[in-house]
Amino acid sequence: MTSLNEQQPPASGAAGIAAVAARDAVKPRNRRRYSADLSALGEPALWGFGGALARGIMLIAGVLLVVLYNGATTFWPKPIDRVALTDGTVIAGVERRGTIFRPDLPRLTDEQRAVVEENEGFAYRTLYQTANFDLYGDDFQWVADFETANVTQPEDFYYFERQTWGVFVGRIAGMTIDGQEMAYDADVLKREQRAARERFREIRQLERSEIGAINHHIERERLAQRRALLREGELQRGEAADVDGMASQARDGILAESQARIQTLQAEYEVLQARVNEIRANDRRYTVTLEEVGGRQITPEISQIVRYYPANTIGIADKIGIYLSRWWEFVSAEPREANTQGGVLPAIFGTVAMTLLMVVFVAPFGVITALYLREYAKQGRVTSIVRISVNNLAGVPSIVYGVFGLGFFAYTMGGTIDQLFYPENLPNPTFGKGGILWASLTLALLTVPVVIVATEEALAAVPRSMREGSLACGASKWQTIRYVVLPKALPGIMTGMILAMARGAGEVAPLMLVGVVKLAPALPIDGFYPFIHLDRSFMHLGFHIFDVGFQSRNSEAGKPMVFVTTLLLLALIVAMNATAIIIRNRLKRKYATGQF
């Protein structure tokens, strides 16, 4: 550029000079602007990064869409097909899904073989949920297109969800109301079903709560008696002979009192049981006769029918009603039919309770460890080794933690607790088996590296000037940490907790060893003293997915529940994380307003 003037050719006129100057001035600048190399700009790399991001987002979105679609459509009422087969049999069922398959040609009739061979050996088959497990011994049936004669959707076919035996598909042949046989009347059945369900709930209430409470008290008395006997044994071993008599007297007194209480409870029990029997007898006077497509009939009590609808004539409003009522049952009721139907309330409860308990354990443990490691420990080789070990712990397979939890927490610690505090219950373990306490402790152990690492980072990010400001005010090191460093690091620590929570709530493998069960008889929290039963095993949504989808007798029936449960688990984790994030952002705002 400096040589611009020197390069000018000899003047041939003012206009010539101006033109040449303009050309020389413009040209190099233009050339420079457009000469940047493509690779220098990093464009191709950028496309690569963008592509990687897009692929990642698409994978996640794909998973979410599959879960969302399958989860959201599972509870929608679907029509019932009546399928007549070429061999004369007739089946009725709800279409589940279809696949292309390669039929076993020698087993087909000549006509069928001709059809299949026309399609190069392939055929299409449909899976029908024929239900009626009590009659057929199976819930599902494959039907190939070449054996289908015709498909109709008869208006009188109903879809029944029963308390036991699962779904029934068929017609209503008649009903018995209060002992009187009569023809099917839609309004009467609707009314009676509601009344019958009320009776059913009453029986369950009596059996679960009131008889359950009596059983609980009787069990306590039994344990109290055993405790008295055990204590007497201890006295006899240690004391003189004359004390022996006194101990026996005391024992006899306790036993007699306890026995009297058991007598009273037993009497109460008899009364309640009589009441239950009375309701049961009454309930048996209300039945409905159902007829499957082949003509066989069953006659269950009306109270057995949870929900029913005419699948082929039902209107859209009723469909929405059924859809919502199924969702409501799903999140608010207990499971039935080996977890493939009904709700998952105990699993929701177990998941939330376990996760919260885990946070309670992991938070102080992780934060205190990180605090010592970062603020107090002399930085050197030992702290480096500790830090690397902690980071590596995060990579240990989670099942290893499960094994450790079972061996150390349940058997060693729990076994000791049993011997010290619950000897009357032995050889039945109280804490000496898997339970919600040991499961949360195991998960706390599993997630503690996440919290330690996040807390350390957060502590390291607190500016030195803050600490110096506090120390210069005459604060001690602990006061500086307590009042200046920790509040400032709190949002970062919360981030660690959120990560730990997400990890813990989604973990299944270790839980299978330390307390999760397929079906828990009681929740870890109930109305009996001491209200929170940390020794109890519990249900968990993650394990529920595994169990329903892959471990049940009837995994085809459980498949849709896998997606619904996954959807619910995702929603639950999102809800818990969102709560934590909101709390964190509140803290952030509180401690970081107007920082420049």
Partner 1 sequence: MNDIIEFEPTSYHVKKSTDGPALDITDFNLWYGEAQALFDCNLEIQKGQVTALIGPSGCGKSTLLRCLNRMNDLVDGLRIQGKITVDGFDIYAKGVDVIALRKRMGMVFQKPNPFAMSIYDNITYPLRVDGITKRSILDETVERALQQSALWKEVKDRLQESALGLSGGQQQRLCIARAVASDPEVLLMDEPCSALDPIATARIEELIEELKGTYSIVMVTHSMAQAARVSDNTAFMYLGRLIEYGDTDTIFTNPQKSRTNDYVTGRFG
By CB under 8 A, name the binding residues for partner 1.
Answer: 463, 465-466, 468-476, 479, 483-484, 487-488, 590-596
Give the residue with the Cβ less far from partner 1, 529 or 596: 596
Instruction: Give the shortest CB-481-to-partner 1 separation in angstroms.
Output: 12
Q: Which is nearer to partner 1, 2 or 593 (CB)?
A: 593
**Using an 8 Å Cβ cutoff, are 457 and 492 in contact?**
yes
Residue where the block lists tokens 């046989």? 181
Residue 417 CB, nearest distance to partner 1 (Å)?
41
Identity of the residue, 137 or 594, whose beta carbon is nearer to partner 1 in the bound complex: 594
Categorise residue 554: left if φ over 0, alpha if ψ from -120 to 50, beta otherwise: beta
Q: Which is nearer to partner 1, 105 or 592 (CB)?
A: 592
For partner 1, give the closer residue by CB, 435 or 491: 491
CB of 580 to partner 1, least distance (A): 21
- 356 residue type, one letter: L
- CB-nearer residue toward partner 1: 395 or 463: 463
Contact 526, 493 (CB under 8 A): no
Taking the least distance from each CB to partner 1, the nearer of 376 and 483 is 483
Helix-, strand-, coil-residue percentages of the chain, each rounded to 5: 65, 15, 25
Q: Which residue do the tokens 């619950």 mark?
A: 422
Q: Which is nearer to partner 1, 7 or 595 (CB)?
A: 595
Q: What does the alpha-carbon distance between residue 115 and residue 110 come to, in Å, rounded to a whole number? A: 9
What DSSP character marks residue 102? -
Question: Does residue 154 have a cis peptide bond before it, meaning omega lies within 30 degrees of 0?
Answer: no
Task: Give min distance, CB of 366 to partner 1, in A.
Answer: 23
Does an H or E element contain 556, and which? helix 555-592
Of 509, 503, 502, 358, the residue nearest 436 (C-alpha): 358
Task: Tell me how far, at minimum, the Cβ of 232 lies from partner 1, in Å.
Answer: 56
Q: How far is the CB of 458 from partner 1 (least distance, A)?
A: 14
Helix axes 555-592, 316-332, angle to 10 degrees: 70
Which of 227-233's residues contact partners 24+ apart within 8 Å by CB, and which partners?
227/423, 227/424, 228/254, 228/255, 228/258, 230/423, 230/424
Closer CB to partner 1, 382 or 466, in the complex: 466
Task: State the Rg of the chain over Cα.
Answer: 36
Beta carbon nearer to partner 1, 433 or 467: 467
State the minimum distance, in angstroms, from the CB of residue 483 to partner 1. Answer: 7
3-class SS at 419? helix
Cross-strand pairs, 398: none
What is the rounded CA–CA span in Å between residue 205 and residue 552? Answer: 28
The rounded distance, in Å, linking the Cα atoms of 555 and 561 is 10
Query: How far is the CA of 519 from the CAs of 403, 421, 538, 539, 595, in angstroms?
Result: 22, 27, 8, 6, 53
Question: Given the DSSP bridges, would you call strands 123-129 and 287-291 parallel, antiparallel or unpaired?
Answer: unpaired
Least distance from partner 1 to the Cβ atom of residue 465, Å: 4
